[in-house]
Chains A and B, each alone.
Chain A
Amino acid sequence: DTGVSQDPRHKITKRGQNVTFRCDPISEHNRLYWYRQTLGQGPEFLTYFQNEAQLEKSRLLSDRFSAERPKGSFSTLEIQRTEQGDSAMYLCASSQVKNTEAFFGQGTRLTVV
């Protein structure tokens, strides 16, 4: 078990470009969360999946953000037409359904220039 892995670790993009991040959860975990974290703040909920079903998406999330989890394994988070305000650390976490302890990946740090 290698834990939760995220790719890439860092991404620098120009404003207006699209970016996609990947998260590979712990293999037996059904739940997968995406959070966004900025300096000095706690992880802000974006969305979560149980298996392949996306159960909730934050109302704070604009239509430029979309997430998928095909086949209930890895997940991708896409941000279209990036803006400078999207610069943040994007964290993925996974957990089991009954044991709700969340295991976090190292995160993807996005910088929009």
Chain B
Amino acid sequence: GQQVMQIPQYQHVQEGEDFTTYCNSSTTLSNIQWYKQRPGGHPVFLIQLVKSGEVKKQKRLTFQFGEAKKNSSLHITATQTTDVGTYFCAGLLRNSGGSNYKLTFGKGTLLTVNP
């Protein structure tokens, strides 16, 4: 079955340092989505990447989708304490007919930031 792997599992940084989490899929994806879950909260959608090689930015966050549409990364520049949380990638895989698809999540990367 489809698997989405994410590394690292944990990352602790000093405020102001950069942070990157990586996501890899065992199969080619239709799109990749990124979510953030604060402690005690539920996953909240951040962004969706669809095209091969796509790069999107949201302020200090940069998202990339690999050329083969099997891997992705999220990079945060100059982390702040408000960035604390678990970041999940989620791969969308369509079946051959294109009518059905399933969103499969990675295990996430827990980011903690020391002020």
Contacts and interface: CB of A to CB of B under 8 A. Distances in A.
Interface of A: 33, 35, 40-45, 48, 50, 55-56, 59, 91, 93, 95, 100-107
Contact of B33 (A33, A42, A101): A101
B103 A45 contact: yes
B36 to A, nearest CB: 11
B105 interface: yes
Given A100-B33, A101-B33, A56 B102 contact: yes
B58 interface: no
A35 B90 CA distance: 13
13 contacts: A35-B105, A42-B88, A42-B105, A42-B108, A43-B105, A45-B103, A55-B100, A91-B42, A95-B103, A100-B33, A101-B48, A104-B44, A107-B42
A42 B102 contact: no
Classify the secondary structure of B's interface with A. Answer: strand
Interface in B87-111: 88, 90, 92, 100-108, 110
Given A42-B6, A106-B42, A107-B42, A100 B106 contact: no
Residue among A42, A91, A100, A104 with the highest chain B CB neighbour number at 10 A: A42
Interface residues of B, number: 24
B48 A43 contact: no
A48 B103 CA distance: 9
Given A91-B42, A100-B48, A104-B42, A43 B88 contact: yes
Residue among A44, A91, A100, A106 with the highest chain B CB neighbour number at 10 A: A100
Given A48-B102, A59-B1, A101-B33, A43 B43 contact: yes
A104 B33 contact: no
B92 A45 contact: no
A41 B107 contact: yes
Nearest to B47: A101
Nearest to A59: B1
